[in-house]
Amino acid sequence: SILLMPLAFGSLLGGLITLIGTPPNIIIANFRAHSQGEPFSMFAFSPVGLGVALVGVVFIATV
């Protein structure tokens, strides 16, 4: 559908912004907690995730 596909891609890319947005983020936070004793905070992935999400949204909008 012309509405549902962009919505699905937006939600997938938006999941990169927070710790609980995608399962790999949780796995990495648990690995860091066990190896260094300190997990990531909730929005520690935001600077990188926001950049990736914006690039992804622009890419999807142009394709």
Q: What is the pLDDT, as a whole number, of residue 27? A: 93
Q: Which amino acid is at 39?
A: P
* Domain definitions of the chain by residue range: 4-62
Q: What pTM, to 2 d.p., does this model score?
A: 0.71
Question: Model confidence over 2-57: pLDDT tens digits?
Answer: 888 888 888 888 888 999 988 988 999 999 999 999 888 999 989 998 999 999 98
DSSP string, 1-57: -TTHHHHHHHHHHHTTSSTTSSHHHHHHHHHHHHHHS----TTTTHHHHHHHHHHHH
